[in-house]
Chains A and B, each alone.
Chain A
Amino acid sequence: MRKRQPASHPLSSMRERVPDLQAQDAPAEQRSWPRRGERQGWRESGRERACGQREMSRQVRALSPNPSPASGRGETRLSLAALLLVLTLIPFAANATDAAVITRQGNGKGAAPCMACHGVDGGGMAINGYPRLAGLDAAYLQKQLDDFANGSRANPVMQPNASALSEDERAALAKYYSALPLPAHPAAARPDAGGERLATHGDWSRGLPACTQCHAPGGVGVGANFPPLAGQPAAYIAAQLRAWQQGARHNDPLQLMRHVAQQLTPQEIDAVAGWFAAQPLPAKGSAP
C-alpha cells in the first residue's frame, strides 16, 4: 500500500509555503516564507501586487469543486462531515480555534500564518509597514478582521486571509494577540516637528483636532475604537491615512477618520505617521 505523500495531498502546494512548526524558532531571516525580497510594503491599494498569500489563497480556492460563493444548508452539513473526517486524516491541520497554531501555521484552509508578516511576538515588521498586533484591544482586532472579510477595510493581503478564517478563528486570534505582551520597541528616527504639532495640537482652522484627543496622549490608544498609534510602523500609519483619504478603508465609526484624513496633505500624512512611529510604547503593566 502506497504511503500518503505530501505531494499527493490537496493542500500540498500550500504546505510547501507554510513554515513548519519548527520554523517558529528559526530567526525571521531563515524562514522560507514569505520571502523577504518579494514582500511588498503594506498597501491598501488594489493596484499593488499582493504577496504570496493571495496567490496561495487563489490556488487553494481553485481546488474547490464549487466556485459559487453560496453554499446551501445541505452542502454545509456535508462540508461539516467532510471537515471532521479531514481533520482526523490530516495530521498537520490546525485545531480550528487554536489561535497560537494559526499564527504559526495558518489554519490549513487558506489563511496564512500571521507571524509571517506580524512577527513571532506580534510586534509587526516596521520595515515593511506590517503593524504590531500584540497588546491591541481584542474587540478592535476582531472588528478589523471582520471588516477585512466583509470588505469595508480593503487590503489585498488581509482580505483573503481574514476571509479564510472562520468567525471563531477571527475571535480567537484577536484574543490571542490582545493578550501578548508589548514587544520591545526600537528607538525610531527623530520625527519632524510638524508631525508633532498636528498630532498633539491638530489644526482647528481646518476643523482638525489633535490626533491624541482620540488616540490618547502619546498615541497609546483608548478602548475598542481608538487603536494605539505609538510605535506602529510609519509606513503602516501613513498607508491607513491614505486608505481613508481614498476610500479603500471605510470602516471608521462616525466617519471620523475619513473626515480627518481628507484634510491632510501627503507631507502631513508622512510627518504625523513619523511622529507616532517614534513614540514609545506604554510601559509594561500600564493599562493602555
Chain B
Amino acid sequence: MVGAGMVLAVNGLAAAAGVAAGMRRRQAEALCPAVVTLAADPAADAAAFEVVATAVEDLVPRVEVADPGLLFVPVSGAVGYYGGEVPLVARVAAAVDEAGGQGGRLGLADGPFAARLAAAAAGDGPVVLADTRAFLASLDVAVLGREEMAATLRWLGVTTLGALAALPREAVASRFGLPGLEAHRLAAGEDRGVRPRSLPEDLAVEERFDPPLRDLEQAAFAARSLAHRLIEGLGPWGGAPHRVVVEAGSPSGETRSRTWRSADPFGEAEVAERVRWQLRAWVESGGVPGGLAVLRLAPADRSDRGRQLSLGEDAASELEATRALARAQALVGPEAVLQARPQGGRRPGERVQWHRWGEPAAPPDRDPRAPWPGRLPGPSPALVPPAPRPLEVEWDGGSPERVRLGSRWEPVLAWAGPWRQTGRWWAGEGPADCYQVVTSAGALLFEVRDGSCYLAAVYD
C-alpha cells in the first residue's frame, strides 16, 4: 500500500521479496516487479480495523485507536481479571486472529511508546516486556521519530535511548527545548508526561440531529463543525487533546463509542478526519440503528501546551480563513466549496481534479506530468461549462464563418484547428474535432462531434 510515493504497508509475500514500509514505490517495484500497489485509504482501513477494535474491546474496555491498524489497550485492570499478563495477551491475540487480524503484532509494556516499539519488534508471538526501561535503553535514537534531533544526538555520541536517558534532563531540555524534554521522558520509560491543567471538567461538544442523519456525508460534515467547536472551546486554555472520544447515539438511546489517540495534540482537521473515519467504520459494521441522532466529541489527556506554530505562520489569519470558509460551506453545502489540483487530460475541464475544501484530495486519476499529446497549450480558457453546450456554427466549406452567441450571429475573425480528440471510445464516446475561434465578442473553444457543434470553453 502506497501513499505520497512511499510504501506504507506490505503483505507477507512482498516482505519476503525484500519490500519494506518506508521504501520509495519505485524501489519496491524494482525489488519485486510483480508487486501490486494499492493507494492508501485510511477511511477504508479504519472501517476494516473496526472489527478488530470491537473484538479487543469485548475483552478489555476503553481501547484507543491511534491509527487504523494501531490499537492501544489499557491493561492495568484487565491483567488481574484474566490472571496475569501472559494469559491476557494470549486472549487478545486469539480475539484479534478470530476477527480477521491474522499477522497482528502485540506488545505489552509500561506505556504506549514502549508498547508500540515492542509490538513492532514482535515476530510470530507477542512481546511482553518485563523491564520496559531496559528494552528501551538498547534502541536507537531514531525510534523517537525526530530525525534532526537524532542526527544531533548521534553527533554528540548519544546513539541509544539508554544513553539519552542517562543524560541530565535539564541539560537535554536546555539543548533541545520542549521536544528534547519529551524525548528524554520517553527514553526514560516515563512515556508521554501529560500534566493536567485546571480546565473546566466538561469541554465535550455534541450535536443533536432531528431527524436523525442517515447519510454518511452529512454526518461527516456535521463532524467538522463539531471538531471546530471542540478545538475552539479548548483554545482559551491553550490546550489541545491527545485523545478524543467519539460517541454516536441512535434515536433509541443506543450509543457507540470509540477513543482515538495521537502522540501529538489533535488539531481541528485531525479530529474531523478521525471522526469521519470512525463514522464510516460504524456504517460498514452495521451502522447506528435508526440513524445518527447525537454526535458527541469529548477531549481527554489534554496537553499542557498549545500547538507550536512554525515561524511566519499566522495562526490568527489561518483560523479566520478556516472559519470563513466553514461558514460559506454551511451556507452552500460541502459540495459547493471546492479546491482543485492539476491532473492530466486533453480538454481544459479534464485537467482539473476537484475535491471538497477541507477534505483530503484523492490521488489524481490521470498523471499531470504525462505528455498528453493533443492537449491545447496555454493560455487556458477561464470558463468551461460543466457540460458541452450546443452551439450554432455556420460553415463555409471546412471553415467556420459565423457563430451564434445569444441572439446575435458573430463573424469569425480568426480560427485555428481542428484538433482531433479520440474521446473515450470504450465508453461509447465518438471522436471530436476542436476549434478555437476568435470573434469580436470573445474567443471560444468548440468541438464538433457527430455533426453537431458544442461550446467547450470560453477565453474570458
| Chains A and B belong together in one complex | no
List A residues at the B interface (Cβ < 8 Å): none
